[in-house]
A and B are shown apart, each in its own frame.
Chain A
């Protein structure tokens, strides 16, 4: 059952990713992107990362994608259907680079992943912790003890991003 679900989610994710690249209108690309993100969230659930699946839907597919959509609407690009895919040499270079990269990644990850899966046995490193602390606690525990300084730095990063976004998008007077 989980395997069938995984392959359905994987097919939707890859289809959404291809749709983002070949979509004519930015809004269509954005909707394909949301399909891709939502099915990735489904795969997160299958991999026992329940909290991250919820965050993926709420923050990524919700907030960030709505921000993109807002900018597309603000700039009035919703009905811009002209072809903007590069032709000729750039296309050749693109397919060459990504084909080689995808092939290398797939080969490397397949071998490495198989070695890892046989070395470490079935994936139960997290299941025990999940039972003990729950889906949120298992992340919150290390986040607020061991990784407290990076967490606080993330807050500063967000503050800087807010100020920067306001300064950049303000009309020069």
Chain B
């Protein structure tokens, strides 16, 4: 089951990357980043079955960082939305050259 889990993790990570690249809705881009974190968690858990418990501890830390990231990121999205009245990244061009 190890090989299947690793391949599944790689596949979900690739789908998450595709979502970040092709979508313009900033909330869905954010969800796709969470998808990538989830794929990495799956890889950690699959490998921890063979290498000892440390992999599961890392997943624990990754989840905490994901929670902190979601809180701060959503706060940034709210404050940007208040300014531009949209969540489409094409309109966020203040730092664009």
Contact = CB atoms under 8 A, between A and B. Distances in A.
Contact of A52 (B23, B60, B66): B60
A44 B41 CA distance: 10
Interface string B36-64: 00100111011111111110110111011
A59 interface: yes
Given A2-B1, A123-B50, A154-B61, A29 B88 contact: no
Given A37-B38, A98-B17, A157-B65, A10 B28 contact: no
Contact of B64 (A147, A157, A166): A157
A91 interface: yes
A169 B3 contact: no
Counting contact residues on chain B (CB < 8 A from A), the size range is: 35 or more
Contacts of B67: 59, 63-64, 158, 161
B27 A68 contact: yes
20 contacts: A21-B19, A26-B28, A49-B45, A52-B59, A59-B63, A64-B67, A75-B81, A86-B23, A93-B21, A97-B17, A105-B10, A105-B13, A106-B11, A113-B6, A116-B2, A117-B3, A125-B50, A125-B51, A139-B57, A161-B72
Interface of A: 2-3, 6-7, 10, 13-14, 17-18, 20-21, 23, 26, 29-30, 33, 36-37, 40, 43-44, 46-49, 51-52, 55-56, 59-60, 63-64, 67-68, 71-72, 74-75, 77, 80, 84-86, 90-91, 93-95, 97-99, 101-102, 105-106, 109-110, 112-114, 116-117, 120, 123, 125-126, 129, 138-139, 142-143, 147, 150, 154, 157-158, 160-162, 164-166, 168-169, 171
Interface of B: 1-19, 21-25, 27-28, 30-32, 34-35, 38, 41-43, 45-54, 56-57, 59-61, 63-72, 74-79, 81-82, 87-88
Question: Top 10 closest A-B pairs, CB basis?
Answer: A102-B14, A105-B10, A161-B68, A94-B21, A168-B75, A109-B6, A21-B19, A113-B3, A123-B49, A84-B24
